[in-house]
């Protein structure tokens, strides 16, 4: 049940042939423009004359996900008091795998996410823990958590109450079915539709992968997509700007430069977390 489940692999930024800008180009083509690994490799050769194999593109993406994720997960989103949650599914080696999302309904930022091999309470708790870390595990007055009728959400709320006590006491507002048959469902249906649109947006970006080879790769790809959605993607809701504008990222100008800055910020967050652990 560890949140910061970092990989045990050793990673390095000592590029043998190319530099960090080529890595930023790979991320821009693969994540932003939704090209597959092989099409990204082909685009780099056709547009810029760089011969980067599709496996090297995958290695760049794994390394970037390891660096970016601490920044994305520990960024202060200043979430509001209304959250909405849902789960969708993807394929890992042809087997159905689940992706959990928790969104702040005001800013539309993704504040909790998790890819899991099952639809049990455990992955739901992990996604909710990631979200509740942004409010220091203290429920504000007037807080509302909106989800569908799946039983994992009320069970997860019971776990938070048992572990943290009354400071984490909250109820799940359930939007049931596809039609508005009761007053609660009618009132909160628009919030449920927000997270449903998020699911469709994510799955549109996932289709070019034709599924993943393992769950670790699915989590890497999900981390990069959440980073892109929260900090780089223009949104109509935000006047076609990013949801969370970080001055260091905005000053980079080009998209490959923005990816490099996000990796740098992630490394700084890693050092901060390590120093806190040692202290």
Q: Please report the pLDDT score of residue 7 as a whole number.
A: 52
Does the structure show a pLDDT above 60 at 8? Answer: no
Alpha carbon distance 234, 167 (integer Å): 36
Q: Please report the pLDDT score of residue 5 as a whole number.
A: 57
Q: Comparing C-alpha atoms, which of 246, 242, 206, 221 is closest to residue 71?
A: 246
Residue 81 contacts by C-beta under 8 Å, 6 or more apart in sequence?
140, 141, 142, 143, 144
Alpha carbon distance 103, 96 (integer Å): 23
Q: Comparing C-alpha atoms, which of 256, 252, 232, 202 is closest to residue 27?
A: 256
Q: Please report the pLDDT score of residue 225 as a whole number.
A: 96
How many CA within 13 A on the CB side of residue 102?
28
- What phi and psi values does residue 149 have, to the nearest 5 degrees? -85, 10
Q: Please report the pLDDT score of residue 179 as a whole number.
A: 82
Q: Please report the pLDDT score of residue 247 as a whole number.
A: 94
Q: What are 35-66's pLDDT values in tens digits?
A: 999 999 999 999 999 899 999 999 899 999 99
Q: Please report the pLDDT score of residue 11 as a whole number.
A: 60
Q: Comparing C-alpha atoms, which of 162, 88, 84, 75 is closest to residue 123?
A: 88
Q: What percent of the chain is modeled with pLDDT above 90?
A: 69
Q: What is the mean pLDDT of residues 75-81?
A: 93
SS3 sequence of 1-18: CCCCCCCCCCCCCCCCCC
Q: Please report the pLDDT score of residue 237 as a whole number.
A: 87
In three-state secondary structure terms, 163 is helix
Q: Which domains does the chain have, with CATH numbers?
A: 20-74+239-278 (no CATH), 82-210 (3.30.420)
Does the structure show a pLDDT above 60 at 240? Answer: yes
Q: What are 168-217's pLDDT values in tens digits?
A: 999 999 998 878 888 988 999 999 999 999 999 999 888 777 778 888 88
Q: Please report the pLDDT score of residue 207 as a whole number.
A: 79
Q: Please report the pLDDT score of residue 4 as a whole number.
A: 61
Q: Please report the pLDDT score of residue 232 as a whole number.
A: 95
Q: What are 79-89's pLDDT values in tens digits?
A: 999 999 999 99
Assess contact for 177 and 150: CB atoms under 8 A: no
Mean of all residue pLDDT scores within the chain: 90
Of 51 and 9, more confident: 51
Assess contact for 53 and 36: CB atoms under 8 A: no
Q: Please report the pLDDT score of residue 25 as a whole number.
A: 94
In this structure, the strands spanning 172-174 and 95-104 are unpaired
Does the structure show a pLDDT above 60 at 221? Answer: yes
Q: Please report the pLDDT score of residue 217 as a whole number.
A: 87
Q: What is the mean pLDDT of residues 5-29?
A: 76
Alpha carbon distance 27, 254 (integer Å): 12
Q: In whole angstroms, how far apart are CA 122 and each of 72, 119, 132, 253?
A: 22, 8, 15, 40
Q: What are 133-155's pLDDT values in tens digits?
A: 999 888 989 999 999 989 999 99
């Amino acid at each position: 049940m560890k949140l910061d489940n970092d990989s045990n692999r050793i990673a390095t930024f000592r590029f043998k042939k190319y530099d960090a800008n080529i890595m930023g180009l790979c991320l821009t083509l693969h994540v932003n423009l939704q090209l597959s690994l092989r099409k990204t490799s082909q685009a780099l050769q056709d547009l810029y004359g760089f011969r980067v194999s599709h496996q090297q593109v995958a290695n760049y993406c794994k390394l970037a996900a390891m660096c970016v994720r601490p920044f994305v997960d520990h960024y202060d989103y200043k979430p509001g008091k209304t959250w909405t949650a849902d789960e969708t599914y993807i394929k890992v080696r042809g087997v159905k795998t689940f992706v959990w999302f928790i969104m702040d309904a005001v800013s539309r930022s993704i504040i909790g996410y998790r890819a899991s091999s099952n639809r049990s309470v455990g992955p739901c708790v992990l996604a909710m823990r990631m979200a509740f870390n942004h409010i220091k595990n203290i429920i504000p007055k007037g807080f509302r958590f909106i989800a569908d009728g799946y039983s994992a959400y009320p069970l997860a709320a019971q776990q938070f109450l048992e572990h943290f006590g009354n400071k984490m006491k909250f109820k799940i507002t359930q939007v049931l079915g596809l039609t508005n048959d009761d007053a609660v469902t009618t009132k909160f249906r628009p919030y449920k539709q927000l997270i449903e649109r998020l699911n469709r947006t994510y799955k549109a970006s996932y289709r070019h992968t034709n599924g993943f080879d393992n769950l670790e790769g699915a989590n890497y790809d999900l981390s990069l997509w959440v980073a892109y959605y929260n900090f780089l993607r223009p949104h109509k809701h935000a006047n076609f700007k990013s949801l969370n504008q970080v001055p260091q990222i905005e000053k980079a100008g080009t998209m490959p430069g923005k990816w490099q800055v996000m990796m740098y910020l992630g490394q700084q967050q890693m050092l901060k977390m390590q120093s806190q652990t040692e202290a």
